[in-house]
Structure 1
Amino acid sequence: MGRAFEYRKASKLKRWGAMSKLFPKLGKIITMAAKEGGTDPDMNPRLRTAILNAKAENMPKDNIEAAIKRATAKDTASMLEVSFEGKAPHGVQLFIECMTDNNTRTVANVKNILTKHGGEMLTKGSLEFMFDRKALFEFPLKDGMDLEELELELIDAGLEEIEAEDGVVIITGDYTSFGALNSALEDMGIEITKANLERMANSPITITEAQQADIDKILDRLEDDEDVQKVFTNLA
């Protein structure tokens, strides 16, 4: 089983818990996409993808439309995308992606969470070599779909890996190929259900259940923070 499926299954188990946490985070992604590339999904691929992912999580249409409208509001002018790198106990490394309108607040919150649970912030760039940034797309495996043929057609767009399990296809490519793969799938009439840029550990580690409990406390606290969008680890 490939790393793409390992990522998908692990991320769905505990991360991004309740809808009360999830929808505001998805809304921020939509707002930022609309702010950067315009409010028309047909003309803004990033926004189109953000809406697609929100719908996959059953985010109501009204919430999506409200998030798009917020892109032109004055209070979103200072919204930034920032990332932090950290070290947790038991050799676990953390890559934390955030969206914030107050970087000072976000830095303080993230640092506080890490230090309270035996971790620490690292200098920016410390973990870049430990994670590969990948583009992932998910769509249904339909009757008659030939994966070998699909693989050949997508290689030129940057495909690195294609897998199918339980009626779902996941394709992986380098993050720089996100746009090309997205366009190729759309041109082929494939209905994408999810599309994301992810960070995958290139040397995953394993820990005990007791150690995992320690790490879960940090991850839960981080993901409770309204500014934190995604947390990636080097766990297998």
Structure 2
Amino acid sequence: MAGHSKWANIQHRKGRQDKARAKLFSKLSKEITIASKMGGPDPDMNPRLRLAVANAKGQSMPKDNIERAIKKGQGGDVEEYFEIRYEGFGPGGVGIIVEAATDNRNRAASEVRAAFSKNGGNLGETGSVSFMFDPVGEIRFPASVGDEEAMLEAAIEAGAEDVIQEAVTDDDGEPAREHVIYCAREDLAEVSSALQAVFGEAKSANIIWRPQNLIEVDGEKAATLMKLMEALEDLDDVGEVFSNFDISDAEMDKLAS
């Protein structure tokens, strides 16, 4: 399981899901606004906006919030956002990629650097970590939408490259499973649309950084790494944090306690 998925599960076990959900809605709204500003307010003519709206619906974001974010992107006084990727290393030598959208480059860089330095990590140069990851499209559906064979068949037909089932924690903190479909990043909109025509609204459809290999961490290094992940996730400018760490279920239970 990739580091960001492990992190999401730990967040649930620690009871931070309400805070994480508020952060998620804020991130989804920002992405809708940016997509609307860059490509126009019509999802049918704007693939990025179409994916952003689909993600928001998959996370049960209210319709009014979605429409407000789209309109904000068309306003003359909307902030100019810069999309920036930061790369660095955490405890245990794990690689971390931070994707941010900010209206202030200096503030974002300063806050990300501080989060790394205060939590056992260090910010690296562009390219120092990303070579250990593959940028791919990732689509997620609840396992309840269909069995593995049906999902695999539909995903291959749609042009996906890989399909797995992953253990997750649902919004109530209970164990659950999800279908996770991977495809080439340039095929995300097409594959996502094809699968949603069969299985309904996806839980999410995003471009992610998928680690090529995982690095196992435990003990104090794992605890410090989780503090670093939490510090990065809590930054307003940060949208996504990806890492290549692996933590055992037993260790996850310790960290969540």
TM-score if structure 1 supplies the norm length? 0.84
Q: Paired residue for 1:232, among 222, 230, 242?
A: 242
Gaps of 5+ in 1: none
Determine helix, strand or coil for the equivalent of 1:90. helix
Q: 1:189 to 1:112 in 2, by over 3 A?
A: closer
Q: Does 1:159 align with 2:182?
A: no
Q: Does structure 2 conserve the Cα–Cα contact (< 8 Å) formed by 1:157 and 1:177? A: no
Q: Does structure 1 conserve the Cα–Cα contact (< 8 Å) formed by 2:100 and 2:240? A: yes
Gaps of 5+ in 2: 167-175, 247-257
Determine helix, strand or coil for the equivalent of 1:43. coil
Residues matched between the structures, number:
232
Aligned partner letter, 1:177:
D
Q: 1:161 to 1:112 in 2, by over 3 A?
A: same
Q: Does structure 2 conserve the Cα–Cα contact (< 8 Å) formed by 1:28 and 1:67? A: yes
Q: Does structure 1 conserve the Cα–Cα contact (< 8 Å) formed by 2:151 and 2:179? A: no
Q: 1:152 to 1:85 in 2, by over 3 A?
A: same
The 2-side partners of 1:180 and 1:167 are apart by: 24
Residues 1-236 of structure 1 correspond to what in structure 2 (within 5 A)? Answer: 3=1, 8=5, 10-14=7-11, 17=17, 18=19, 19-140=21-142, 148=149, 151-152=152-153, 154-155=155-156, 157-164=158-165, 168-188=178-198, 190-236=200-246
Q: Does structure 2 conserve the Cα–Cα contact (< 8 Å) formed by 1:162 and 1:171? A: yes
Aligned partner letter, 1:194:
S
Q: Displacement of 1:12 after TM fit?
A: 4.0
Q: Displacement of 1:13 after TM fit?
A: 3.3
The 1-side partners of 2:113 and 2:142 are apart by: 40
Sequence identity of aligned pairs in percent? 37
Greater displacement, 107-116 / 73-82 = 73-82
The 2-side partners of 1:149 and 1:158 are apart by: 14
Q: Does structure 2 conserve the Cα–Cα contact (< 8 Å) formed by 1:76 and 1:101? A: no
The 2-side partners of 1:186 and 1:20 are apart by: 25
The 1-side partners of 2:236 and 2:212 are apart by: 28
The 2-side partners of 1:134 and 1:11 are apart by: 19
* Larger RCO: 1 or 2 (CA < 8 Å, sep 6+): 2
The 1-side partners of 2:73 and 2:9 are apart by: 28
Q: Does structure 2 conserve the Cα–Cα contact (< 8 Å) formed by 1:35 and 1:71? A: yes
Cα-to-partner distance string for 1:141-186 (whole Å, 9 max, x where unaligned): 568x575465455436431222347674321122232123123224
Runs of at least 4 residues off by over 6 Å: none
